[in-house]
């Protein structure tokens, strides 16, 4: 039997499978949104409901009014924003140096950094906690931010991209007497703009979604980021399905929207990061 | 300012951060794992004693460590192949010339990757609820009796694996899709002229060409899946009957619940050793496969 005799069948199967898998990927998120708009108890009625009888924002009001969600949202924005800005500064400068500036031991140092990627971050967490305790930074924003201020992955990503900056351009500027800092700020940075955008969204999403380290270093509620607050709320309000789903929406929606808006940069970075250097 | 000095100035902030908050703590963790650092030492460092390999011997004799390692290996051994299959399957669908609306489907399939583990794990907890969950409700339509997904020690880990596959497959899907798009179309054309079926084209063109990418993403997935923590923390709290307690969960409890930081550091290093051994083995087997292919 010749396959090509039935192109419509192959087309229907492929698109049907795509539709089915996309539905599986997205439906849990849609259910979260729907349940967050239901009245208390509605999501756990029998038979289960898919859509709210009367959609209302009461759960969100309760979250921001009584559960202090506004505070956690601001904490998350502050922590993820600070990590993004600081790590961009460190990673872009270092990535550029590894790609374009000559110095003794460059390759060895870079390979050493890549080797460090093999060590899971959790190995460092116990002494890091002690270090921050002696520095008085446990249960502070700085304690969450500090270890995220530079990443090997970010340096690697910038280096990969910065290698395409033409050396002639830098040499010409040096001959004209421009200092290294000026060359970096005025010539290199504008050329690196796409990778800076990519790295910014990567860093923000990673910092926003991070769980284990904030859970360890934040010992008091007042500094909780959204994931930590949500995990703690869920142990207290387990029965309140609708309230918890509203909390999940508040946590997930900002990053989902950011991803939708900056998708192009995010996916480009994902491919660049996966290329063996 | 000459370039070498400028280079070090550009590197300085990043190296300081990585040195102080990563390299130094990793070395300290190794030292810590040879001590009995606990709550008493936390209060007064003079209580600290050097115990050589006692922490490691102690762990290797504890059933809890072995069961945590077993659960983690189960999660990796089942989760990574399932995850890779989902990634490859969806990448092939997206890459098919017959597919419509690729950009839309790609975004939809990728969406779970950018979400927050804690938030979406909560969704799954409710969807897989025994009594009110939509999953059991849907299965009831097929006449299947309700399953106690997260309350039954036999089902809890499979449910967490399903969750992890759903959450993560989109990441490798994008990388594999890029790999598929890089395969020269002439290869398929030549195969079609020779009358090769779609299945043969997949086996003799797609898979060999995709091999390096497949090897790389599976190694990265294995090391990612070994770091199982947030999923059981939110979905099962390590239960029921500790059936979802992972190695990192053990490290967290040991270190930050019981404050046995020496022993917890030993847990972290043992995990590192296991991960290193498994990924090195995969790399070796993968490379040997490449060499075998070159031979006639």
Task: Give 10-residue mean pLDDT values along chain B (296 residues).
Answer: 82 97 96 92 86 95 96 98 98 94 95 97 94 91 92 96 97 94 91 89 93 93 96 93 95 95 96 96 85 49
- For residue A268 the two structure tokens come to 């480009």
Shortest alpha-carbon distance between residue B278 and chain A (Å) = 12
Structural domain total, chain A: 1
Note whether residue B22 is domain-resident: no
Reduced to 3 states, what is the DSSP secondary structure of residue A37? coil
Residue A147 sits in a domain of what CATH number? 1.10.3720.10
Q: What is the pLDDT of residue B294?
A: 45
Reduced to 3 states, what is the DSSP secondary structure of residue B35? strand
User: Whose structure tokens read 């025994």?
Assistant: B130
Residue A260 structural domain: 62-274
User: Whose structure tokens read 């992972």?
Assistant: B246
Note whether residue B1 is domain-resident: no
String of DSSP letters for B40-91: HHHH-GGG--B-TTHHHHHHHT-HHHHHHHHHHHHHHHHHHHHHHHHHHHHH
Residue B107 sits in a domain of what CATH number? 1.10.3720.10
Q: Would you give the end-to-end CA distance of chain B in angstroms?
A: 57
User: Which residues of chain A from 150 to 179 reach within 8 Å of chain B, CB to CB?
Assistant: 150, 152, 155, 179
Shortest alpha-carbon distance between residue A223 and chain B (Å) = 17
- Decide if B265 contacts B32 (C-beta within 8 A): yes
Note whether residue B180 is domain-resident: yes
CB contact B74 to A (< 8 Å): no
Q: What is the pLDDT of residue A46?
A: 77
Q: Which residues of chain A have pLDDT under 50?
A: 1-3, 276-277
| Selection from B1, B162, B3 nearest residue B75 by Cα | B162
Cβ count within 10 A of residue B103: 9
Note whether residue B20 is domain-resident: no
pLDDT tens, B166-195? 999 999 999 999 999 999 999 999 998 998
Structural domain total, chain B: 1
Note whether residue B101 is domain-resident: yes
Note whether residue A155 is domain-resident: yes
- Which residues, other chains included, contact B221 with Cβ-Cβ below 8 Å and sequence gap of 6+? B80, B83, B84, B168, B172
Nearest to B18 among A17, A150, A227 (CB): A150
Q: What is the pLDDT of residue A1?
A: 41
Note whether residue A164 is domain-resident: yes
As beta bridge partners, residue B35 has: B50
CB contact A196 to B (< 8 Å): no
Q: What is the pLDDT of residue A277?
A: 35
Test A212 with B4 for CB contact under 8 angstroms.
no
Q: What is the pLDDT of residue A247?
A: 97
CA–CA gap between residue A206 and residue A218 (Å, rounded): 17
Note whether residue A140 is domain-resident: yes
What does R_g of chain A's alpha carbons equal in angstroms?
24
Note whether residue A130 is domain-resident: yes
- Decide if A126 contacts B265 (C-beta within 8 A): yes
pLDDT tens, A197-233? 999 999 999 999 999 999 999 999 999 999 999 999 9
Q: What are the respective helix, strand and coil percentages of chain B, to the nearest 5?
A: 75, 0, 25
A-chain residues near B178 (CB < 8 A): 271, 274
Residue B250 structural domain: 32-294
Note whether residue A263 is domain-resident: yes
Give alpha helix (H) positions in chain A.
7-36, 58-65, 69-100, 106-116, 122-134, 141-145, 152-162, 167-175, 180-183, 189-191, 193-209, 212-217, 226-236, 241-274
Shortest alpha-carbon distance between residue A49 and chain B (Å) = 9
Q: What is the pLDDT of residue B5?
A: 87
CA–CA gap between residue B265 and residue B80 (Å, rounded): 26
Note whether residue B12 is domain-resident: no
């Amino acid at each position: 039997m010749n396959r090509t005799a039935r192109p419509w069948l192959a087309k229907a199967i492929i698109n049907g499978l795509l539709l089915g898998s996309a539905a599986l990927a997205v439906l849990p998120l849609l259910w979260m949104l729907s349940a967050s708009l239901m009245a208390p108890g509605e999501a756990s009625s029998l038979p289960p409901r898919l859509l709210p009888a009367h959609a209302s924002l009461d759960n969100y009001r309760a979250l921001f009014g009584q559960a202090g969600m506004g505070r956690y949202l601001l904490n998350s924005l502050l922590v993820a924003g600070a990590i993004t800005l600081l790590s961009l500064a460190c990673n872009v400068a270092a990535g550029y140096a590894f790609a374009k500036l000559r110095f003794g031991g460059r390759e060895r140092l870079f390979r050493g950094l890549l080797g460090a990627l093999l060590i899971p971050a959790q190995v460092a967490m116990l002494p890091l906690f002690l270090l921050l305790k002696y520095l008085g930074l446990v249960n502070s924003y700085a304690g969450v931010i500090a270890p995220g201020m530079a990443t090997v992955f970010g340096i690697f990503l910038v280096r990969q991209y910065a290698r395409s900056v033409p050396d002639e351009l830098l040499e010409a500027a040096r001959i004209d007497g421009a200092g290294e800092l000026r060359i970096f700020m005025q010539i290199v940075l504008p050329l690196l703009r796409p990778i800076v955008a990519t790295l910014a969204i990567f860093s923000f999403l990673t910092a926003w979604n991070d769980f284990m380290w904030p859970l360890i270093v934040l010992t008091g509620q007042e500094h909780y980021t959204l994931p930590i607050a949500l995990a703690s709320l869920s142990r207290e309000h387990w029965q309140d399905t609708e309230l918890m789903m509203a909390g999940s929406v508040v946590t997930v929606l900002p990053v989902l929207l950011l991803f939708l808006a900056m998708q192009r940069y995010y996916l480009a970075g994902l491919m660049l990061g996966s290329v063996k250097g | 300012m000459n370039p070498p000095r400028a280079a070090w100035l550009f590197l300085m902030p990043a190296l300081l951060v990585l040195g102080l908050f990563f390299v130094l703590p990793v070395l300290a963790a190794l030292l810590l794992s040879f001590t009995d650092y606990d709550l008493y030492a936390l209060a007064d460092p003079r209580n600290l004693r050097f115990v050589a390999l006692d922490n490691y011997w102690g762990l290797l004799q504890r059933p809890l460590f072995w069961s945590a390692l077993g659960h983690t290996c189960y999660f990796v051994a089942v989760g990574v192949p399932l995850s890779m299959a989902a990634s490859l399957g969806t990448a092939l669908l997206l890459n098919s010339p017959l597919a419509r609306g690729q950009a839309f489907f790609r975004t939809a399939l990728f969406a779970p990757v950018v979400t927050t583990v804690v938030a979406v794990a909560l969704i799954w907890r409710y969807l897989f609820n025994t009594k009110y969950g939509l999953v059991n409700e849907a299965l009831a339509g097929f006449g299947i009796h309700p399953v106690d997904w997260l309350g039954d020690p036999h089902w809890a880990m499979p449910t967490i694996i399903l969750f992890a596959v759903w959450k993560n497959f989109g990441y490798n899907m994008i990388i594999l899709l890029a790999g598929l798009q890089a395969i020269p179309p002439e290869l398929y054309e030549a195969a079609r002229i020779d009358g090769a079926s779609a299945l043969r084209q997949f086996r003799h063109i797609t898979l060999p060409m995709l091999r390096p990418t497949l090897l790389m993403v599976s190694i990265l997935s294995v090391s990612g899946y070994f770091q199982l923590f947030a999923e059981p923390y939110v979905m099962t709290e390590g239960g029921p009957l500790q059936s979802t307690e992972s190695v990192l969960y053990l490290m967290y409890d040991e270190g930050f619940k019981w404050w046995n930081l020496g022993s917890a550091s030993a847990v972290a290093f043992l995990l590192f050793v296991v991960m290193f051994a498994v990924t090195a083995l995969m790399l070796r087997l993968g490379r040997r496969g490449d060499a075998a292919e070159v031979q006639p």
